[in-house]
Amino acid sequence: MLVYLRVFKESFSFAINALKNNKLRTFLSLLGVTIGIFSIIGVLAAVDSLDNQIKGQLSSLDKNTMYLAKFSFGPTNVPRWKRQSFPEVNYNEFKYLKSVLPDAEQIAYQLFVRRESIRYESETIANVNTVPVSKEFEDIQKLEFSRGRFYNEVESNSGAPVVVIGDEIAKQLFGDREPIGKKVRIYGQKFTVIGVLTKQGSGAFGDSNDISMFLPVNYLRNRFGDNNKRMNHVMIIKPKSGVDMDAFKAEIDQKLRYFRGIKDGKISSFFVNVLSGFTDFIDGIISFMNMIGWIISGFSLLVGGFGIANIMFVSVKERTNLIGIQKSLGAKNRFILFQFLFEAVILALVGGLVGLGLVWIIAKVMNGIVDDFEFILSFGNMFIGFALSTLIGLLSGVIPAISASRLDPVEAIRTGM
């Protein structure tokens, strides 16, 4: 054991001397390892951070939540031209399904519309994410309020001019003033602010609730009708706990086909999108991003490995005379072998540590600049960085180390002289 500790100590000294005596050559050799480790760990950390952000935003929703619409949230076998001919879901279908789906805990109706402006006195915010929804949306989305409330069933059904705004909108429009009860102008009409949502942070798929406003879906239906081409209709269905999802999805399909009069043998003119299927789709994209990151970064690691191997071959050639002297004094082949292997691993670890250090610095900078996104450098990713660095050192140094250990001591001394 003491022998190996001595080998490690001497190898470390040789590696440090190599770094000091051949700064430019060492820097260029380690650059590939540094870039490779930086690329792989950077990609893994970025993807993990994105995955954590998405799952955090979706945590308020039950994964069994369904979105009933004319469009699919994921890949589908239905041709595009046929999907374009599908009718929008409508409010009558919403009321019908509410009455015939006993296994549904909540069903909400939502319109996807273009962004609008909101104004209070001299303050105006343009391009605000506008979310017209029915009252049930509050329970499905589990909205939390810092002030006020969501609109009630009477306000929802009548399409009352009331609005719930996000935290950021409240700050920009009202500053330190109390927003509840204030009149704001949307669609050229006055709306009463009845609620302000708790600060959420950045949204998983674009807009956050902080920069969104919620108003009764029936306000837009009463004003613009159901056939407006600029509005897309969707029903959000939350099943009761413990319901058989396949059976429930089949029941929704059967009920709406019956209501629409779709004959047997014809495809359904709508899609029942389950949130869990959507999250699986997102997981697939994240896995693909990880794979692409590994492939691209692998080329950098390959170059780095060749750089380490090159510096080790040069090191063996420069120290041929010393190797001969060591072997003539009784050094075993494995002593020489481990000496150069340790040196290669140490050199690779230096490159890996620099790469990890760069990722850590960028993570700190990003977290300082971006308030609503946390860049995560996990222990697991750091361990991967150390393991890869060690593996690169071993693979790159094994051939030079073997060639050094097999040198004939007499020929090695003569060559060095």
| Residue 3's pLDDT band (cuts 50, 70, 90) | low
Q: Residue 191 pLDDT more than 80? A: yes
Give the rounded distance of the alpha carbon of 292 from its chain centre. Answer: 14
Q: What is the mean pLDDT of residues 4-29?
A: 66
Q: Rounded mean pLDDT of 183-207?
A: 82
- 71 pLDDT higher than 70: yes
Higher pLDDT, 35 or 249: 249
Query: Would you say residue 289 has pLDDT above 90?
Result: no
* Residue of higher predicted confidence among 406 and 220: 220
> Average of pLDDT values for 276-305?
70
The whole-model pTM stands at 0.61
Query: How would residue 55 be classed by pLDDT, with cut points 50, 70 and 90?
Result: low
Mean pLDDT for all residues in the chain: 80
- Range with the largest mean pLDDT of 10-14, 18-22, 93-97, 391-395: 93-97
Instruction: Give the pLDDT score at 308.
Output: 75
| Domain ranges, ordered by start, for the chain | 2-57+281-416, 87-269
Average pLDDT over every residue of 196-210? 72
Q: Which residue has the higher pLDDT, 121 or 405?
A: 121
Tens digit of each residue's pLDDT (9 = 90 or more) over 159-170: 999 999 999 999
Q: How confident is the model at residue 18 (pLDDT cuts 50, 70, 90)?
A: low
Residues 6+ apart with CB under 8 A from 41: 355, 356, 359, 377, 381, 382, 384, 385
Handedness of CA 271, 277, 282, 284 (dihedral sign): negative
Return d(Cα 344, Cα 401) in angstroms, integer: 9
What gap in Å lies between CA 269 and CA 30, rounded to an integer? 59
Helical ranges in 192-319 per DSSP H: 217-224, 245-260, 275-318
Q: Cα torsion for 300, 302, 303, 307, to the nearest 10°?
A: 130
pLDDT at 10: 67
When pLDDT is cut at 50, 70 and 90, the band that residue 243 belongs to is confident
Position 154 confidence tier, pLDDT thresholds 50, 70, 90: very high
Range in 40-54, 121-135, 143-157, 345-359 with the lowest mean pLDDT: 40-54
Per DSSP, the three-state class of 182 is coil
Helices (DSSP H) in 1-152: which residue ranges?
A: 2-21, 23-58, 80-83, 91-100, 137-141
169-179: pLDDT as tens digits: 999 998 888 99
Q: Give residues with Cβ within 8 angstroms of 93, minimum separation 6.
A: 235, 256, 259, 260
The neighbouring-strand residues paired with 106 are 238
